[in-house]
Structure 1
Amino acid sequence: MLKFFVIPGHDRRLIPEGRLSGPMPWVIAIMIFLTVLATAAGLAMTHAMGDVSDELSSRATVQIVEANPGIRGRQAAAAAKQLRTLPIIEEVRLLPSDEIEALIEPWLGGQDLADDIPLPALIDLKLVRVATEAEYQSLRSALRSIAPSARVEPSSGYIAPVISLVRSFQWIAFGLVGLLALATGAAVIISARSALNTHTETIAVVHLLGGTDAQISRLFQRRIALDALLGGLLGLAGGSGIIWLISTQLTALDSGLVQSVGLNWWSWLIIAAIPILGMFLAMVTAKLTVIGALKKIL
C-alpha cells in the first residue's frame, strides 16, 4: 500500500504537480474539516442518548398529590415503606420538601411555595432492571390502598421530547456527513477532469509508447489520493482542535445532560479514520472518472 504513494521520478515529470500546489488538497481539507465536526456531533449525541437512556430507563418517580400536608406526609412515608419491600425496587428515596422547592424554583420563583401551593410528595425509585408496563401497573396497584392519588411514572417519559429532539439533530449530522461525502466526490471528479485536460498531450504520447488506460489512470489516481490524504490530515487537525475547544467549554457547564455529551475511544477511532476513508473515496472516484474519460477521448 505504501508503494502506491511512492511516486517515481519519471511519473513526476509526466504530471509535474507539487504537493498542496493546487486547490484540490485545500478543498478536501475543508470537506474533511466539516465532516469531522459533523461526525463528532452525531457520535456525541449518540453517546449522550445512550447514557441518558441507560440512566433513566431503570428509574421511576412516584408523585403523591394531596392538599393536606399531614395526610400527604403520612401517605408518602407509608408508600416508601411499602415500595422497599418490592423485589423490583433497588433503592427508594423520599425527596425532602426543600429539594422539591428547589426543583420548581426556576419556574415559580424563590418564595416559600409550600405555604401557597400544595406541593406533591416525590419518591425517587431505582429499579433493579427496566420495568415493563405491566410491572408499572403492579406498582400503582400496590400503592392504591395506601395513597389513592399516587402516580407512578418512568423517569424516561419526562425527557422523551428532549431525546426525540436530540435524535433529530443526530440524523441531521449524519445526513450532513453523507452530503459532504458526495461533495468530496464531486470535487475529485472536477479535479481529475481538469488534470486530464491539462495533460492531454502527455496522455497521447504515453498511449503511443504502449501505455494502457489502467497505467495512465494510476498516475492520476496516485496523485489525487496523495493530495486527498494530505488535505484530509489538515482537516482532521483543524476539526480536532475545534472539538477540543468545545469539549473544554462543555465540561464547565453544570448540567447532567450536557456533560453526558462526549466522545469515547471508539468515537475518536472513527473520527481518526475519516481522512483514510476520504482518501479511498478519492482514489475510487478518480479511477472511475479517468478511465471513463479516457475511453471517450481515445
Structure 2
Amino acid sequence: MILDRIWASGPESRLLPAEKLHGPTVALMAIMTFAMILVAAAGLALANAASSVSSAAEARYVLELPSAAAAQLPKTIAAAKAVPGVRDITPVPESEMRLTLERWLGAEASAPDLPVPALAMVDLDPSANPEAVSAAVAKQVPEARINAESAQLAPLLAPVRGLQWLALSLVALMAAATAAAIILAARGALDTHRGTVEIMHRIGATDSQVTRLFQRKIAVDSVVGALVGLTGAAAVLLLLGAGVAAAAGELSTSPLTWTDAAILGLVPVAAVVIAVAVAHWTLLRALRATL
C-alpha cells in the first residue's frame, strides 16, 4: 500500500527523514502533474464538444432548392412536413445567406444577378425516415435535395477527434517521462546514501527493508509535488472556466462535466502510484545488483 510506503517507524524516520523534501523530485512531480491535468482537461473538453456537435447534427438535415425553384420552397416545406417524423422546418432567409457570402465575395454577394439557392433546416425525430422525406420533396421539386448535416460536419470533426488522441498520447508520454525521472532520482538517492545502506546491510537489514526506506522518501516527495501540481492546475482551470464556458455556450454544453472532474482528480493519484511503483522496482533491482 502507498500509505505504508509513506508512514514509517521512528528509527526509519531518523535514518532518512521524509520531512526534508527533495526539491527536484517535488518540482518534477508538480510540473508533470500540472501539465498532465491541463492536457487531459483539453482532451476531455474536445471530446465533449465533438460529442455535442455530433449529437445535435444526427437528426438535422438541410433542404436545398436551386435558385430557379426558390419560389417553390413553401410548397416543398409543406410536402416535407406531411411526412411522419418531421419535427420542424426552418427556412433560411436569403438576406442571411447573402450576408454569409459576403465573407468570401464581398460586395458582390449583394448583386441581384447572383443566384442564391433556397435553404431550409429540417429537424427529424430519431424514428423518422430521411429517405421518405427526400422522396416527398423530390416529388414536389425534382431538383430538391436533402443532405445530412452530420455528413458535412464529419470532415471538421475528424481533426478534433485526432486532437483527443493526441492529448491522450501526450499524457502517456509525460507519465513515461515522469517514470524515467523517478528512476534517476531513486538511483541518485541510493548513491548519495550508499554508506548508510552498507551499514544497514551489515546489521542485518534486507533489500526490501532498505527499499522501503528510500521508497518512503520518494513517496512523500511525490505526494507533495502532485498536490502542488493539482492545486496549480485547478486554479488555471477555474480562471479559464468562464471564458471556456462562454465559448462552449453555442454548443449548449459544459466544457467539463463532473465525471471529467473526477477523472482529472485521478491524474495526481496515478502519478504518485507510478512514481512509487517505479521507485520500488528501481531500488530493489539496484540493491540486488550491486550490494
* TM-score normalised per structure 1: 0.89
8 Å CA contact 2:101–2:109 kept in 1: the answer is no
Corresponding residue for residue 55 of structure 1: 56
**2:183 corresponds to which of 174, 179, 189:** 189
Letter in 1 for 2:196: T
Identity across matched positions, percent: 34
Amino acid at match of 1:278: A
Distance in 2 of aligned mates of 1:19 and 1:40 = 32
Letter in structure 1 aligned against 2:142: P
How far off is 1:243 after superposition? Answer: 2.1
Paired with 2:4 and 2:290, the residues of 1 have a C-alpha distance of: 29
C-alpha RMSD of the superposition: 2.2
Partner of 1:119: 116
> Could you tell me how far apart the structure 2 residues matched to 1:130 and 1:105 are?
38
Task: Give the aligned residue type for 2:32.
Answer: M
Contact 2:65 2:119 in 1 (8 A): yes
Per the alignment, residue 88 of structure 1 pairs with: 85
Whether the 8 Å CA contact 1:58–1:130 is kept in 2: the answer is no
Partner of 1:199: 193
- Whole-angstrom CA distance in 2 between matches of 1:112 and 1:180: 50
| 263-272 or 111-120, which deviates more | 111-120
Which amino acid letter does the alignment assign opposite residue 72 of structure 1? Answer: A
Structure 2: which 5+ residue stretches go unaligned? none
Q: Which has the higher helix share?
A: 2
**1: CA distance between counterparts of 2:92 and 2:37?**
43
SS at match of 1:86: coil
Q: Which moved more, 1:22-31 or 1:245-254?
A: 245-254
* Offset from partner CA, 1:3-31 (integer Å, 9 cap, x none): 54233332222114544333111011111
User: What residue number does 1:79 align with?
Assistant: 76
CA distance in 2, matches of 1:26, 1:194: 16
How many residues align? The count is: 290
Taking the TM superposition and a 5 Å limit, the aligned residue runs for 1:29-40 are 29-40=30-41
2:277 corresponds, among 284, 288, 295, to: 284
Contact 2:62 2:119 in 1 (8 A): yes
8 Å contact 1:57–1:130 — kept in the other structure? no
Range with bigger deviation, 14-23 or 32-41: 14-23
Q: Report the Cα distance in structure 2 between the residues aligned to 1:139 and 1:241, rounded to whole angstroms.
A: 51
Matched, 1:175 2:202: no
| Pairwise CA distance, 1:234 | 0.8
Q: 1:139-158, CA deviations, whole angstroms, 9 ceiling, x for partnerless residues?
A: 32222121122111111122
Equivalent positions of 1:237-248 (< 5 A) are 237-248=231-242
Could you say if the C-alpha distance between residues 278 and 19 of structure 1 is closer, same or farther in structure 2, counting changes exceeding 3 Å?
Answer: farther
Can you list the C-alpha shifts for 1:205-262, whole angstroms capped at 9, x where unaligned?
22222221111111112211111111011111112222223332234448735x7571
In 1: Cα distance, 2:39 partner to 2:177 partner: 14
* Structure 1 unmatched ranges of 5 or more: none
- Is the 1:45–1:261 contact (alpha carbons within 8 Å) kept by the matching residues of 2? no
1:210-249 superposed matches below 5 A: 210-249=204-243
Q: Which amino acid aligns with 1:294?
A: L
Q: Distance in 1 between matches of 2:127 and 2:111?
A: 34
CA distance in 1, matches of 2:165, 2:248: 26
Distance in 1 (CA, whole Å) between partners of 2:286 and 2:89 is: 71
The TM-score, its normalising length taken from structure 2, stands at 0.91
